[in-house]
Structure 1
Amino acid sequence: MLTILGKSSSINVRKVLWTCTEIGLDYRLEEYGSGFQPTSTPEFLRMNPNGMVPVIIDGGQNLWESNTICRYLAGKHGRTDLLPAEPMARAQVEKWMDWQATELNNAWRYAFMAMIRQSPDHGDAAALVASMAEWNRLMGMLDAHLATAGPFVCGEALTLADIVLGLSANRWRAMPMVRPGLAAVDAWFARLSERDGFRTHGCNGLP
């Protein structure tokens, strides 16, 4: 059975859990991370030298990086609806997944650390304002795309791009900050909320 190491409150672990729900995979979740088993032990660091969750163990091998794990699971189980086989269609999905991991995550990191984690290292008011502004700007880019591409990020069907971006959108909506009205994002979020996997692991009140 697939083993997932990580805590169910982690945004990146929840990507993997939602993907498993879409595929219909059985798995065993072992809780690792803050408040649970540590990720700093030599045993864990041999599996992921970054000391971060999630990590999966499948067939005696381990894999880390949440977006990569999602791609692996979709590919292994032949879910070409979630990750197309045709090169351009696949690249469109992976483009948005990469954008989520690089541009969007980098935009919200300072605001999240300052406002939710209350990190003493993130007390610069100007940097906080800049982070929120960039986060809103990038969500506006997603909104403009969804307004023409919909109903999902890459067209008519849900893909891995929706899974990883859906978790990010949930975090954005949960943040105690001023946000612009984004009608296309709101409509897309409502469509995601019709899915069991998103209700359980995505739109569950955890930023």
Structure 2
Amino acid sequence: MAKTATKSAKKPAAKAAPKAAAKTAAKVTAKAAPKVTAKAAPKAKAKPAKKPSIKLSMLRPSVNNMTVRVFARAAGLDPAETDAWGHTRSPEFLARNPAHLTPMIEDKALPRGVLWESCAIMQYLANKHGLEKFYPKAPAKRAMIDSAMFYLIGTLYPYVARATYPALGFPQYAGEVGHSDAHPDKKSEAQKAAMAAIAEPLEVFHSFFRNGKPFIGGNNPSIADIRLGATLEFLAVVDYALPKWAKEYMAALEKKLGKAYAEPAGDVRGYIAHVKSQAKA
């Protein structure tokens, strides 16, 4: 019995020793070991988003074309431009665009692959790329931009076209006096009447659409401002006396948009200068 008791007493002690030693060793190791702080993995640098490129067929002397050229640059869309001068009636162009109009963009996402009309192009691109700065999503603000553009193309631009197209050498629309065989005096009267009519819608843009703001879009130009600014460029060919606010407005628009406005405007201004020099020669 004594031997058994002795064995029983020794066994627990023998087993307990390694456990105690292990705990002690663990404590010592924990104290001695330097603390390791988990460092966050370095964030991968985001690659700059590749600017979407659009294929744009355009005519350099045209303010309708200038509109989209300015917008595409200002929006950073990196347009790939093709000068369509002399090609809009070609079978290849007509197969894609039976209206033979410019500006025209090509985009596979479109139902027919192409889109013309400057305002529609700007609206589409602004929607596609989320360019709220130029075309707000808020229904009320967007409605005012749309109203300004539709008023321009439906009321102001026809007057501008009738006043300037004869001087620019552009073909006028069928039925226009300037396009007919009417006596030159009749054509001159029609042109002067159109010039006189410009003042009223122009004032509407100033007093109603801008309403004390720098631009129709507020503090920043909208697509309606780009369309209006480009349209007013044509009036230089007939030496139209723009009101002071309109001159300041155009200067502010160009300053705000910088090269995006100045480069396409330079093509229009260059053509106007050429036309006026030819008239004096």
TM-score, normalised by the number of residues in structure 2: 0.66
Bigger helix share: 2
Q: Is residue 252 of structure 2 the alignment partner of residue 191 of structure 1?
A: yes
Q: Identity over the aligned pairs, expressed in percent?
A: 24
Deviation of residue 146 (structure 1)?
Answer: 6.3
Secondary structure, in 3 states, of the residue corresponding to 2:211? helix
Query: Does the 8 A contact of 1:149 with 1:155 survive in 2?
Result: no
1:149 to 187, 209, 212: 212
1:50 to 90, 93, 99: 99
Higher-Rg member (1/2):
2
Distance 1:193 1:30 in 2: 24
| Corresponding position of 2:232 | 169
Query: Does the 8 A contact of 1:39 with 1:52 survive in 2?
Result: yes
Query: Does the 8 A contact of 2:63 with 2:233 survive in 1?
Result: no
Amino acid at match of 2:244: A
Q: Deviations over 1:159-184 (max 9, x none)?
A: 10111001012222x1324425x222
Residue pairs, 1:106-145, within 5 angstroms: 106-117=158-169, 121=179, 123=184, 124-145=187-208
TM-score, normalised by the number of residues in structure 1: 0.87
Deviation of residue 118 (structure 1)?
Answer: 7.3
Q: Which fold has the larger relative contact order, with Cα–Cα distance below 8 Å and residues 6 or more apart in sequence?
A: 1
- Structure 1 residues 10, 116: closer, same or farther in 2, change over 3 A? closer
Q: Please, which runs of 5 or more residues in structure 1 have no aligned partner?
A: none
Aligned residues: 202
Secondary structure, in 3 states, of the residue corresponding to 2:100? coil
Q: Between 80-89 and 60-69, report the one with greater CA deviation.
A: 60-69
Q: Please, which runs of 5 or more residues in structure 2 have no aligned partner?
A: 1-52, 172-177, 273-281
Query: Does the 8 A contact of 1:4 with 1:56 survive in 2?
Result: yes
Task: Please identify runs of 4+ aligned residues in structure 1 that moved more than 4 A.
Answer: none
Distance 2:239 2:62 in 1: 21
Distance 1:67 1:50 in 2: 16
Over the aligned positions, Cα root-mean-square deviation in angstroms equals 2.1
- Structure 1 residues 10, 118: closer, same or farther in 2, change over 3 A? closer
Amino acid at match of 1:170: E
Deviation of residue 138 (structure 1)?
Answer: 2.2
Distance 1:19 1:121 in 2: 32
| Corresponding position of 2:119 | 67
Query: Does the 8 A contact of 1:145 with 1:153 survive in 2?
Result: no
Secondary structure, in 3 states, of the residue corresponding to 2:65? helix
